Structure 1
Amino acid sequence: MVRPSLNDLAAFAAVASHRSFRKAADAMGVSRSALSHAIIGLEGKLGIRLLNRTTRSVSLTQAGSQLLARLDPVLQDLDQALDTLSEARGTPSGQLRINANKSGSRILLKDVVPRFLDRYPEVELDLVSEGRLVDIVELGFDAGIRLFEAVPQDMVAVSFGGEVRFIAVAAPSYLQNRGTPNTPDDLQNHSCIRQRLPSGKRYRWEFSRRGAEVAVDVPGNLTLDDNDLLVEAAAAGRGIAYVPQYFAQSLLKSRRLVTVLADWCPPTPGLALYYPRNRHMPSSLRAFIDILREADRSG
């Protein structure tokens, strides 16, 4: 039997973990065809099929399951050994992959990312911005960034950026024509610009005051899936929108938007960077967290 290369074994582990050639190829930064050829070559060298493949799915054979069970800890030990060498050199290197929502990406790009890349030029930072909450371990990310309340319970969370306040906003012209709501129940008599979540569900607006919490499935004939678009539609007089204050700040200053139901919109815990609790932390991620905290203190 010809001994397979480490690259071929890593390719197999990626496909087996993701159960998808496309997702594994994206995580490894290679083409699907290259990954497919690597797996075919590996199976040829070993003389046994490791994966069952159809046009819609990828599954492990019994031999593939046995190999993955033995291979995963070996690859993790290898990653840790290489990272230890990086620490010994005193300079983190390699790739750092972070999955973040749009607002988190914006905050990072303003201060944290420039500091990090200037200080650690040997690290390749791959910052993926998307709305849906993903399994960062399954997709090969080192860390994720979401609102603190959305962080999975089995993850370690590092808060940053301060509190976040969701606010209801509308154009003065809209309020002049339709009146100003005084309670969340009053929204039933208004045109609201509703939001579609990445999961496909429509967001129920959440309010609280003096311990009372209310979730409202607001009425409206326009649904959008992006906070910037929600703000623009509200400024155009299409109705009331409910967004993180950060997205409406400039239009509030110019008075194109005003807040409503302000006493029902208290601040909530803000963003958090999170990572797996029981996995080795790469030196690049440790350095990124240090700079995140540094920027948070100086901000």
Structure 2
Amino acid sequence: MAGNVRINAPRLAAGLLVREVLPLMAERFPGVVVDIVVEGRLVDIVSAGFDAGVRLVGSIHKDMVAVPLGAAISFICVASPAYLERFGEPGSPEELESHRCIGHRMPSGKLYRWEFERAGQELTIEVGGPVILDDEELMVDAAINDLGIAYVASPAAERALAGGRLRQVLTAWTPAPEGVAVYYPGHRAVPPALRAFLDVVKTLQR
């Protein structure tokens, strides 16, 4: 089989594809070229010429077919041990107002308001701090370098957490995990190259 598959995905999801999906694609379907465009903003994959996209399940339109990709993702607050030793650990989301927080600039240009959940109670907090970034890997680096508390997807921080360079805070307020999926239009025929890609994605769930 030969062909091209164009995929639109945010950076973290693209990394997951490179680590887990592409090696299997290269082995099973060496004639299929996977063309990944890394983009944070949510695009209309049909009008933009993509075969499929990767996003959090909650942001995928209902007219799309979604295929789960990997484990669900939690969004967590992390900070360096040195920062926490100097400024203390927040006991509740409201206490973030007195902390240095690393802002997240969304693709829309708006600042992301941090979301929390505990025992059915939901909170949205507007934070402030010394730096605003639009890339989660840079947010993790900023937190490692003692610039403040970051709010990131758990896979972005897992290595730093495992190595002790970061610690999770406000654990009890972590929102429920959300699934990630590859999605594609359900109203048109699936090209053979895309079907091969989806078959590989599905094998990861077994």
TM-score (norm 2): 0.96
Q: Does 1:291 align with 2:194?
A: no
In structure 1, the partner of 2:93 is 184
Q: Which residue of 1 aligns with 2:25?
A: 116
Deviation at 1:172, TM superposition (A): 1.3
Give the % identical residues: 47
Select the residue among 83, 92, 111 that pairs with 1:174.
83
What's the CA shift string for 1:4-29, capped at 9, x where partnerless? xxxxxxxxxxxxxxxxxxxxxxxxxx
Structure 1: state its 5+ residue gaps.
1-90
Does 2:122 correspond to 1:221?
Answer: no
What's the secondary structure of 2:204's corresponding residue?
A: helix
Cα distance between partner residues in 1 of 2:48 and 2:105: 24
Q: Deviation at 1:267?
A: 3.8
1:153 to 39, 62, 74: 62
Q: Pick the structure with greater CA Rg.
A: 1
Higher relative contact order (CA 8 A, sep 6+): 2
Picking from 247, 250, 254, the partner of 2:156 is: 247
The correspondence for 2:16, drawn from 89, 107, 111, is 107
**Aligned pair partner of 2:36 in 127, 142, 166:** 127
Aligned letter for 2:37?
V
| Structure having the larger proportion of residues in strand | 2
Paired residues of 1:181 and 1:187 also in contact (CA < 8 A): yes
Distance of 2:69 and 2:143 partners within structure 1: 29
Between Structure 1 and Structure 2, the one with more helix by share is 1
Q: Does 1:96 align with 2:31?
A: no
Structure 1 stretches of 4+ with a deviation exceeding 6 A read none
Contact 2:68/2:205, CA 8 A, preserved across alignment: no
Query: What is the aligned residue count?
Result: 206
Whole-Å separation in 2 of the counterparts to 1:269 and 1:159: 11
1:163 and 1:267 in contact (8 A); partners too: no
Q: What TM-score, normalized to structure 1?
A: 0.67
